[in-house]
Amino acid sequence: MKTKGEVHAIKWSSDRLLLLDQRLLPEQKKYVSIDTCRDATRAIQDMVVRGAPAIGITAAYAVVLAAREHFVANPKQWRESIEADLQELSAARPTAVNLRWAVERMRNIVAAAPDLDPLDNLLAEAKSIHEQDIAANRRMGALGADLLNGNATVLTHCNAGALATGGYGTALGVIRAGFEAGKIINIYAGETRPWLQGARLTAWELLQEDIPVMLLPDSAAAHVMRSRGLDWVIVGADRVAANGDVANKIGTYSLAVLAREHGVGFMVVAPMSTIDRDLDQGADIEIEYRNKEEVLTCGGKRVAPEGARVFNAVFDITPAELIDYLVTENGVVARPDAAGIRALFDTDT
């Protein structure tokens, strides 16, 4: 089903990968064409494409590009020669586990694909990763919206929408579904300094579908909860540990603490591909640090004095005990913990 103003961050067209350049939004809507795996790795590092599921889908198509390049150059040894590209790709960003998850899924196809004609199988798998993500988002949208009572006021952080996924979005999928069902009447989006995913991307994405949005400076959240009333904070995730701790955009943890203090519900929406059962707890998740220029500047203009040092961790960890609901395509876990996370995988067939 195609919805009005639907946004596509990733397209595969005429044997090329097209990425909507998210560094340019909302001023320009421009796709860049990606022809090699190395270009895809750079696009992920430079945030042309961002958001955990979108990074994973891009990586899946990037494996197709790598296979094509190496198969043409060396049809007998392409499986070996592809490896350096895949390792560089897997390391492009460290926190979102979907990247490694997608590369591993593609590696299985690399191993099993027919010697004479491997590319069709690889492309079919990449497309299926893409389509499964959209289907998961639709399912999570419905499950998450079911949790809302009527007339809800919600706050989201960063961008966990169509731009961050194969389409429809995780947290923003729930907000879309809730709005469509008439259960959400007010949507706040935190601007999400320093990269401004909320101000630039979430606001743009919602307005493409005429869904009204109120932007908040990140520092206004406590005041809004106390003085204007808020029912839910709804966010995505970059990685969920086996005990339910969640890594997500920096500022998510403070929103969870504030939500608990003010009696506001806290919902995390993430596909099963974001759950990393190899890590026992959030403290084991590698947090990405990015360039200090992101903090020293705003809108391309320097705002801080020479000599200022910068702390630019771009994700934080929200402990499971602050999370009221984890919504996945396999079901909803209330007050997530290790047993609740395990149960999600038991329904995975």
Cis peptide before 194 (omega within 30 of 0): yes
Nearest to 269 by CA among 142, 152, 101, 183: 142
Among 67, 164, 213, 295, binds ligand MRU (CB under 6 A): 164
Residues in 302-321 that interact with ligand MRU by CB under 6 A: 314
284 belongs to the catalytic site: no
Least spacing, CB of residue 197 vs ligand MRU, in Å = 5
Q: Which residue is listed with tokens 């998740």?
A: 285
Judged by CB under 6 A, the stretch of 23-31, 63-71, 236-244, 304-312 that binds ligand MRU is 236-244
339/103 Cα distance (integer angstroms):
27
Strands (E) across 27-180 are located at 31-34, 152-156
Contact 57, 16 (CB under 8 A): no
294/290 Cα distance (integer angstroms):
8
Least spacing, CB of residue 344 vs ligand MRU, in Å = 17
CB of 71 or CB of 315, closer to ligand MRU = 315
Query: Is there binding between residue 236 and ligand MRU (CB under 6 A)?
Result: yes
Among 51, 167, 244, 282, binds ligand MRU (CB under 6 A): 51
Phi/psi zone of residue 5: left (φ > 0), alpha (ψ -120 to 50 degrees), beta?
left
Task: Give the active site residue among 21, 85, 133, 238.
Answer: 238
Q: Total residues contacting ligand MRU (rule CB under 6 A)?
A: 17
Q: Which residue is nearest to ligand MRU (CB)?
A: 236
267/346 Cα distance (integer angstroms):
22
Residues forming the site for ligand MRU (CB under 6 A)? 50-53, 96, 158, 160, 164-165, 170, 197, 236-238, 248-249, 314
Residues that are catalytic: 238
